[in-house]
Structure 1
Amino acid sequence: MNWLDEIHWDADGLVPVIAQEHDTGDVVMFAWMNREALQLSQDTRQAVYWSRSRKRLWRKGEESGHVQKIHEIRLDCDEDVILLKIEQVGGIACHTGRHSCFFKKLENENWLVDQPVIKNPEDIYKHE
């Protein structure tokens, strides 16, 4: 059996993926992969995701340069969630220019931003 066949893909052929820094344990991102994205990620050791909004493969860092180098690929006990242990190149995982996509924390029933913008997104994504 092919290792990809052991994954429980959803009805759309996708699996949820958590990106976690291998050295700090920080969860920096959540995304989706299809079979091709996961195979490419395994082959290249750089994260490739499936963009549901653009309906195409999305090589993390293709525009920003903030690629994710994969140290480990793990599958959860139910075989329906992937965990990538990664090195986040440039220290920015979020399109908002922050270290992590999880920069809002619930305090007293209010969402508080607790991470600074490291780099202005307009400087990261230069649209011509």
Structure 2
Amino acid sequence: MEETGLKEQFVKVNKDTKEKFKVHEEGIEKLDDKNRKLRDQLSNLIKKQRKNNWIIHGASLENENPGETAKREEILKNAYTLKGSGYYVTKDLSPEQRSKQQLLIKYMRDARNKR
């Protein structure tokens, strides 16, 4: 009699554990999806802003022809950067846009440093 009671109890505990694990796995999938969406939003924002000359990556300076480099240096005279980020932002932005840019660059730098 006791044996069957133990067996039933074991089955119940095992079932509960499986349920909890399943919920945990689904939670991880949801988190991955959320991170993926954020990453996609960020990369789309970066692409859009590169197109509008808001963000310039400093690393690409040496790979350009002289005309492009001169144009870029002209832009960089009127730009600021977050130290160590490798990204520059043009100054002719509204204060609101500038603060968004600083946050974006900080996020990009932190993400790159975590890799």
Higher helix share: 2
Larger radius of gyration, structure 1 or 2?
2
Q: Same fold (TM over 0.5)?
A: no
Larger relative CO (CA 8 A, sep 6+): 1 or 2? 1
Q: How does the TM-score come out when normalised to structure 2?
A: 0.25
Higher strand share: 1
